[in-house]
């Protein structure tokens, strides 16, 4: 389903192509607010629009759901394995070693409410992807609002006017003004993305498995297995 950014894409492409061309060919006034925004974002306004249009909120929501489904399947396996380890009738040193490793592995698999387990880490990953989808939704909305504001502005009229009817100074100033209005929400969004990554990094770090110390007994010990 198309959103506001999709519907305004054609208008935005036309206007921002003019902005990009002017900024590239003629620059912007010295000290203009567009300069720090260009450095921060690292892209021209038209590039930002194309980036925003490629972002897919629904695909991220679907991916988050799939990750949670995997976590639920792992949690189910954890419950089965935890029950199985207590159901055996194997005795002896080998049985003790096997049980130790089995319990360690099932503990590593864990449950969805324990962030220090695979299941918990998968649930955290799903939540992180949902947070990314929220970020995408906000960015696309803000870019659409920016296009709607600048598309009917006096600066847009200047940029669309025939070359013979506009001065070079007016053209450069108009491009800088439109560029600033469009790049600001992108700069804010990229700052928010850095904050999002920082908040989640500790919950998404690699989860290593540490094998347990396996008990050993004397050679020739007795092992009993109920058949």
Residue 188, both tokens: 């804010």
Model confidence pLDDT, tens digit, residues 55-79: 999 999 999 999 999 999 988 888 8
**Assigned domain for 196 exists:** yes
CB 182 within 8 A of CB 146: yes
For position 87, what pLDDT does the model report? 59
Is 212 inside any structural domain?
no
Supply the DSSP string of 75-92, one letter for each residue.
HHHHHHHHHHHTT--EES
Q: Is residue 160 part of a domain?
A: yes
Closest CA to 185 of 137, 153, 152: 137
Residue 214: inside a domain: no
Q: 84-123: per-residue pLDDT in tens?
A: 666 566 667 777 777 788 788 888 888 888 888 999 999 9
Q: Is residue 100 part of a domain?
A: yes
Residues of the chain with pLDDT under 70: 84-91, 163-166, 215-227
Q: Is residue 128 part of a domain?
A: yes
Within-domain flag for 115: yes
The pLDDT assigned to 225 comes to 46
- 167 class by beta-carbon count within 10 Å (0-12 exposed, 13-18 middle, 19+ buried): exposed
- DSSP character string of 141-175: HHHHHHHHHHHTSHHHHHHHS-GGGS-HHHHHHHH
Note whether residue 47 is domain-resident. Answer: yes
If DSSP codes are grouped into helix, strand and coil, which group holds residue 121?
helix
Alpha carbon distance 220, 16 (integer Å): 81
Q: For residue 51, give the CATH number of its domain.
A: 1.20.1260
Containing domain of residue 153, as a range? 4-206
What pLDDT is recorded for position 88?
60
The domain tally of the chain equals 1
Does the pTM exceed 0.85? no
pLDDT value for 85: 63
Residue 143 CA to residue 5 CA, distance in Å, equals 7
CA distance 143 to 183: 9
Are 68 and 123 in contact, with CB atoms under 8 Å apart? Answer: yes
Contact between residue 106 and residue 75 where contact means Cβ atoms under 8 Å apart: no
């Amino acid at each position: 389903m198309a959103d506001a950014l999709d519907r305004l894409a054609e208008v935005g492409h036309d206007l921002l192509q003019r902005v990009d061309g002017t900024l590239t060919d003629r620059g912007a006034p010295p000290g203009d607010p567009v300069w720090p925004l260009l450095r921060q974002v690292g892209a021209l306004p038209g590039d930002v629009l194309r980036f925003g249009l490629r972002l897919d909120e629904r695909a991220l929501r679907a991916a988050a759901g799939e990750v949670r489904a995997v976590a639920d399947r792992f949690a189910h396996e954890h419950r089965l394995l935890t029950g199985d380890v207590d159901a055996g009738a194997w005795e002896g040193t080998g049985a003790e070693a096997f049980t130790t490793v089995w319990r360690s592995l099932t503990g590593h698999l864990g449950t969805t409410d324990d962030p220090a387990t695979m299941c918990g880490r998968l649930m955290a990953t799903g939540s992180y992807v949902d947070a990314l989808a929220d970020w995408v939704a906000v960015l696309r909305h803000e870019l659409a609002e920016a296009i709607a504001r600048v598309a009917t502005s006096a600066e847009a009229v200047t940029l669309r006017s025939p070359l013979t009817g506009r001065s070079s100074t007016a053209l450069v100033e108009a491009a800088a003004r439109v560029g600033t209005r469009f790049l600001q929400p992108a700069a804010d969004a990229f700052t928010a993305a850095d904050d999002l990554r920082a908040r989640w990094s500790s919950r998404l770090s690699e989860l290593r498995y540490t094998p347990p110390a396996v008990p050993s007994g004397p050679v020739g010990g007795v092992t009993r297995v109920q058949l």
